[in-house]
Amino acid sequence: MHAATCQPTPVQMPVAAHRAPFDGRLFRRVLGLFPTGVTIVTTWDEEGRPVGATVSSFNTVSLDPPLVLFSMAKSSACCDAFAAGGPLAIHVLGHEQAELSNRFARGGGDKWADLTYGAGEHGAPLLEDTLVSFECSLFAQYPGGDHTIFVAEVRQLRFRDGEPLVFCSGTYRQLMAMGGGQ
Ligand SMILES: Cc1cc2nc3c(=O)[nH]c(=O)nc-3n(C[C@H](O)[C@H](O)[C@H](O)COP(=O)(O)O)c2cc1C
């Protein structure tokens, strides 16, 4: 094809455009337009206590070996525990588990009070009854600005029937099939 015949389509004018450096609140607001699932990542601290945090930065990396990732603020109380490299678990929450998500998104206090949990076959603290749990070992960690990027190798997975909890624009949501009523 001749280059002359290749007419680029003009881009639609966006409602707003900003050049970096951005206002942090604006950056978060725009990132929030990308919907995600919600996970709770767990491991043990150096005293053998379970620690965990709500994380939406979960994503897939590789099928062989089976790798996933999440990023955690270096300021999070439990970031060092993940960096220590012990067994960890990633729990994908069901749509009815927004309260559990909020509990693990609050710093301080005992997130684990009155919760049933146990150690999985690979040693990570496992929460009961989440939609999915991946038992993992730490594969790699990378600096990522004010976050650390953790890449985890999945050793075992468990799942149940159900719909995922969704987070978008700062609000929990449920999936709905397009077209409705199907
Ligand atoms: C829906 C949702 C998603 C979140 N995703 C992340 C994330 O991907 N990475 C992160 O560092 N914090 C994330 N947070 C914030 C942490 O859950 C929060 O800072 C938590 O208090 C950290 O716990 P810690 O300080 O006890 O370690 C998220 C919070 C919510 C409500």
Cross-strand bridge partners of residue 119: 125
Determine the distance separating the centroid of ligand 1 and the alpha carbon of 10, expressed in angstroms: 39
Q: How confident is the model at residue 1 (pLDDT cuts 50, 70, 90)?
A: very low
Average pLDDT over residues 160-170: 98
Segment among 11-15, 109-113, 153-157 with least mean pLDDT: 11-15
Give nearest CA residue, ligand 1 atom 13.
55
Helices marked H in the chain: 24-31, 79-83, 98-105
The residue whose CB lies within 8 Å of the most ligand 1 atoms, and thus the one to mutate among 55, 93, 106, is: 55
Global pTM reads: 0.93
Determine the distance separating the centroid of ligand 1 and the alpha carbon of 131, expressed in angstroms: 19
Domain residue spans of the chain: 36-166
Whether CATH 2.30.110.10 fits 36-166: yes
**What atom in ligand 1 is closest to the CA of residue 172?**
1
Determine the distance separating the centroid of ligand 1 and the alpha carbon of 78, expressed in angstroms: 10
DSSP helix/strand/coil, 57: coil
Determine the distance separating the centroid of ligand 1 and the alpha carbon of 47, expressed in angstroms: 22
Say if residue 60's pLDDT is above 50. Answer: yes
Answer yes or no: are the C-beta atoms of 148 and 141 closer than 8 Å: yes
